Chain A
């Protein structure tokens, strides 16, 4: 189970293309996702609940576009790219802060 923890001696390989395909595809994807989010929400294509869900999902997809297309998130000079661990645990805590704070503080909007 914890084998990957010990996998920190292997040299990793980097990939760099001769033409910036990744960047261009990433840019197109981010633009398309954004236009879709604007159209879906501002043209009131659906009711409020599904709209919120869809535009949040699109925003989450944009994270992956930036991470993989621009930020080279899987690269590491040796062994496991530990930043992915940092980002995933960070994401857990981000969701905890936002969701649990909303839950805890709901009573105040019920009271007001």
Chain B
């Protein structure tokens, strides 16, 4: 297992044209970035404004950029896979390469695309919605981001140095153990997930503390916006699920580099314990991915129907119920492992129960729209596409939850189609809807609707063309992770159609990027701060919000407080008076989170190649920086009243 037989150059020289292409593009992109930053003298700006920031809004934007970049990277993986499967017996990719591509596709889409997308929205919206000036622990928040960022770098760099992981995104033992999977690829997976997991756990703690302890006066829990509620449920799941990931990855790493026997075949190890523990994290994880989307849709349904959300309390209750039940369903990922009828029945019934609170939410959204004055803007369009798509995905999920029937569907393309339908139709549609919704709040301009609609229709049509045939392919017996298939199975036509759908989705993504580029140049400015005629507190602020968010913290009297004020003509209650402004207590920027992230990268690198001196040095650097932080006597400062007055006057709010 130790890659000592590889010379250092052997890690780089692989003889694969795809990898040389990737090498070249990485070098070119790096040179281009360095050139632009140097030419326009932007290094100082980059360091001061972004790399050292502890402002939740900027951290949110960095998460968003990272998520879109990762969506591109893992999307390219998807297109490569669909190209390979378009026709029987193709050899676009070799089998080893195909294994690497499907592994990185899944890993990146879930951990390095969907998670940061969610964190982007949490960061951007939650403090503004609850009337706070930042999150509970801004310094920790910055650490979370940089730890995620460098973990993403670590995983992505595996493609060109050392080889990507190739045991699937679930990385089951014993296949992923040292006996079957030599080389550093699997270590890249274990370390990068471990490192980003630390950041995710910190984010969960951070936001739960923020929401419970930092709401504006008067905002009782039952007056909180539903997106904030969804982040409560998500954070709870993060706090209780991510430690399981930490443990399972650590144990597999110990197996691999220290020769222990948790998940080996020999010496009493039990690979099935890996599967069991992986899904203790893995199932709550998929609810971590979907609940924020539910929150987004609750905001959008109410805003664009100009009605209060139907059944607010049942919405809150079902969010919490979903997060509770989702902890008792994990074994449905391995019904076929043979744990027995009792176990399978328990987990099958629990899985089906999740459908009840989810159904409540679907009906509540429909009733919110019913008799509403609906405006079809981009966020609402994505919401309307979500409802049928997610409902279908949910229904095939109930089919999979029926344990006896699952023996037929298990690990077939039926499963692939199901989870893509809930993850794309649920999570990704939700994230895109949210991106359109909060974009003006982030950047001060709107995304273009014309190109947005093109992207929407291409992506949606492409989705159905790509994934509906896969249900049938699954029923016809096509298994997941096959790198090719012979002629005469009757699979050719459906695979070909599916590949066309994937290409249409790819074009849809490119149009989406074009929409962003176009809008940066020509996008309509948001001068009011309230472009959608919104309901919650963030729309009472200018776009983008000043870095302290609220010059004066408002006192909340109603659910949908801003809407209530507008309806009764009392917007002036949020107007700022100079005599109310006090010095604002804010955290100072710090370079330590960036350096801590970098140190984690060094630690990860050290473990991946088993260069332990490097790992120890990285760990030492982390401890030294934490100690320095602990000894800092003034990590914060006060913005003087004059500066706040000046900023607010410039924004036309005084």
**Could you list which residues of chain A lie within 8 angstroms of chain B, going by C-beta atoms?**
2, 5-6, 8-9, 82, 86, 89-90, 92-93, 96-97, 100-101, 103-108
Contact = CB atoms under 8 A, between A and B. Distances in A.
Interface string B313-348: 100000000000001100100000011101100000
A92 B236 CA distance: 13
B277 interface: yes
Given A104-B276, A105-B276, A107-B338, A96 B270 contact: no
B273 A96 contact: no
B280 A108 contact: no
A8 B273 CA distance: 42
Nearest to B271: A108
Interface of B: 212, 217, 220-222, 236, 239-240, 244, 270, 272-273, 276-277, 280, 313, 327-328, 331, 338-340, 342-343
Given A5-B221, A106-B339, 17 more contacts: A5-B220, A5-B222, A8-B221, A82-B212, A86-B239, A89-B240, A93-B240, A96-B327, A97-B280, A100-B328, A101-B280, A103-B343, A104-B276, A104-B343, A105-B273, A105-B339, A107-B339
A7 B75 CA distance: 47
Given A101-B276, A101-B280, A6 B343 contact: no
A101 B272 CA distance: 11
A92 B280 CA distance: 14
B220 A6 contact: yes
A12 to B, nearest CB: 13
B328 A105 contact: no
A90 B220 contact: no
A95 B300 CA distance: 38
Contacts of B280: 97, 101
A88 to B, nearest CB: 12
The 7 closest A-B pairs by CB, nearest first: A6-B220, A5-B221, A93-B240, A104-B339, A82-B212, A107-B339, A104-B343
Contacts of A5: 220-222
20 contacts: A2-B222, A2-B313, A6-B221, A6-B222, A86-B239, A89-B236, A89-B240, A90-B240, A93-B240, A96-B328, A101-B277, A103-B342, A104-B331, A104-B339, A105-B270, A105-B272, A106-B340, A107-B338, A107-B340, A108-B270
B328 to A, nearest CB: 6
B173 to A, nearest CB: 14
A22 B164 CA distance: 56
Nearest to A83: B212
Contacts of A92: 327
Nearest to B244: A97
Contacts of A106: 339-340
Contacts of A105: 270, 272-273, 276, 339
Contacts of B338: 107
Nearest to B316: A2
A88 B221 CA distance: 19
A5 B270 CA distance: 44
A100 B212 CA distance: 31
B263 to A, nearest CB: 12
Nearest to B313: A2
A76 B276 CA distance: 37
Question: Which has the most chain B C-beta neighbours within 10 Å: A82, A93, A96?
Answer: A93
A100 B244 CA distance: 14
A35 to B, nearest CB: 32
